[in-house]
A = this chain, B = another copy of it.
């Protein structure tokens, strides 16, 4: 069985060599700066593993895995802009607009999004179209962009479960579900397996975001010791702020069990996915 590291290595090599032809130098540089900035590559690896699970060996799913990483990178560039979260550091490096200026950062985000589609459309994969649609819908107005909009426009609101759930479904779960469903579709999976993959991705995504929120509480020295109180006080739109820290941890565990259960009928074929789900609970970064 291939491991997460196997998929990650193949994907990194593909991204490093990705053609970005016709782009002015500064645009290509800005795109690569954000695209090759490391990270877990969780979205791309999930897609490769899902295509594998459905019986698609080899390289044919790589353009789609790369596209997911491009979409993730674009969303981070635009998220970090002064008009949005105004972040100057990401993964220890200056954010795109700090390095290239706001105008080029906006364009680099636009370019990564567009190039994601161009790369998938050029793949010549026989099941490209339904797979691209999964990814477009997850990145679109009913998915990631719904989450981003609700997040940005409700800043400072008192957190409530319904709102926070909608934000997490959009911002996180949609783009962890699409890799699984798109990968399965590329691999020729039947409807039942794609349905199981959709449930898996949804619950993995929600668990992932809750664990993220919990890690943020612990990771921020300013919050040390007064975690939940501070989060509530700042009205951050996190799950722990809605239900408390220990309930949030229990909810993450419930989602992980639901994710694993979704793939239970597929036994050893789904081992990668069950392992990944349980490892999410033990994330430290």
Q: Which residues does A use to contact B, with CB under 8 Å?
A: 20-24, 26-28, 31, 74, 78, 81, 83-84, 101-104, 106-107, 109-111, 113-115, 117-118, 121-122, 128-129, 132-133, 136-137, 139-143, 145-146, 148-150, 152-153
A106-B84 contact given A111-B140, A129-B128, A143-B22, CB 8 Å threshold: yes
Contact A117 B141 (CB under 8 A): no
Contact B145 A23 (CB under 8 A): yes
A140-B114 contact given A81-B106, A106-B81, CB 8 Å threshold: yes
Main secondary structure of the interface of A (DSSP, over half): helix
A-B contact pairs, 24 of them (CB 8 A): A22-B141, A22-B142, A22-B146, A23-B142, A23-B145, A23-B146, A24-B146, A26-B149, A26-B153, A27-B145, A78-B107, A78-B110, A83-B103, A106-B106, A107-B152, A111-B140, A111-B141, A111-B149, A113-B113, A114-B136, A114-B140, A115-B140, A117-B117, A117-B140
Residues of B within 8 A of A115 (CB): 140-141
Contact B111 A83 (CB under 8 A): no
Task: Given contact pairs A111-B141, A121-B129, enumerate 7 new A-B contacts (beta carbons under 8 Å).
Answer: A21-B142, A23-B149, A24-B153, A78-B110, A109-B110, A114-B139, A114-B141
